[in-house]
Amino acid sequence: MDRAVFIFTPSHKQQQYLEFVFDSIAKYISIPYQFCLFTDKLNENFTSKYNLEIKIITKEDLELLENNYYPEKRSDIPAFSAYAQFLLPRYFSNYDAFIYMEVDQIVRGDLANLWKDCVKNNYPLAASVFLDDDFTQTSVDSFNKIHPGAKCFNTGVLYVDVKFWIKHEFENRCLREIAIQKVSGGSRLDFYAQGAINNSLHLFIYEIPWVYNTPGFGSVRGIPSNIIDSAIILHWTGPMKPWVQNGLYKDLFYFDDNLKNINDYVVTFRIQKLIFFKLKRLIRNILKNFNIVVK
């Protein structure tokens, strides 16, 4: 367990960006590591200098995900990308544990302590909670309606105890949740697998510091400098990924100061949008407090 295992699930369209993420992890990590790739198919141009363990989803499992697929706010996301996270422990049962990560992330510090802490504490699952802050602009409304007062986790970085997951049939729990989502017409989840994991498994998830999954880099300009400097894993949540033409914070993803766009670092909240998010946060906090009183 001294070897940290990192598993990624990009479709063939995004595999070309994996090497940047791999490089950022390898640059800092102080313990042995293994990178794994789970995908629908390999891009014919994909290569890596790292020793990757690669698994391709079976036709039967892909059909399973497609049959349960319900388009949410991002209907451009295919069924594999939406739900592949559920299947990882079964495909990589040769490992005791792993950390799931995404291709729209960059690491700026040593992940050894994250790995060691999760293993030492025998966490079944571990993730950071959504930041209750204006700059993230993240909605978890569906989760809060179903689980008022509960913590909602950003599963873009997720530690998984493989044996625990398999023993307690977490895959089936998540699949049942997305089946309910489809029948309900999309009223139960936010963000596909993330919503299903939170609805089904949030009571099993232990909290890790938000510095290991700092969101907003693909959606918000003007993220405070202290947030950026503290972050160990930057997450480009949102549509403005660093590899698209209007992508934000390209300099941070590519470790290239020449790509720095000063406009990315300037706050651009419209006043009505800021008021909306502050009002939403106030309502959420009231609901949380009310839930505590009820208990």
**pTM of the prediction?**
0.90
What does the pLDDT read at residue 186?
84
CATH number assigned to the domain comprising residue 42: 3.90.550.10
CA proximity to 8, closest of 198, 126, 158: 158
Token pair 């349960």: residue: 68
Higher pLDDT, 293 or 234: 234
44 vs 256: CA distance, rounded Å = 27
In which domain, by residue range, is 12 found? 4-294
Radius of gyration of the CA atoms of the chain, in A: 19
CA proximity to 40, closest of 105, 4, 106, 91: 91
* 180 and 70 Cβ atoms separated by less than 8 Å: no
* 99 and 19 Cβ atoms separated by less than 8 Å: no
158 vs 59: CA distance, rounded Å = 26
List Cβ<8 Å contacts ≥24 apart for 226-234. Answer: 227/135, 228/252, 231/108, 232/107, 232/108, 232/109, 232/110, 232/111, 232/114, 233/101, 233/105, 233/106, 233/107, 233/108, 233/111, 233/157, 234/105, 234/106, 234/107, 234/108
288 vs 201: CA distance, rounded Å = 19
* Span of 218-222, 263-267, 285-289 with lowest mean pLDDT: 285-289
Tell me the three-class secondary structure of 215-245, residue by residue. Answer: CCCCCCCCCCHHHHHHCCEEECCCCCCCCCC
CA proximity to 1, closest of 144, 159, 226: 159
Token pair 């139960």: residue: 188
pLDDT digits (tens, 9 = 90+) for 94-119: 999 999 999 999 999 999 999 999 99
Say what percent of the chain tops pLDDT 70: 87
Mean pLDDT of 236-259: 96
Q: Is 220 left (phi over 0), alpha (psi -120 to 50) or beta?
A: beta
Count of domains observed in the chain: 1
* 88 and 98 Cβ atoms separated by less than 8 Å: yes
Return the DSSP state at 97.
Answer: E
pLDDT digits (tens, 9 = 90+) for 176-207: 999 999 998 888 887 899 999 999 999 999 99
* 250 and 256 Cβ atoms separated by less than 8 Å: yes
57 vs 61: CA distance, rounded Å = 6
* Span of 12-21, 89-98, 114-123, 124-133 with lowest mean pLDDT: 124-133
At residue 209, φ and ψ (nearest 5 deg) are: -60, 145
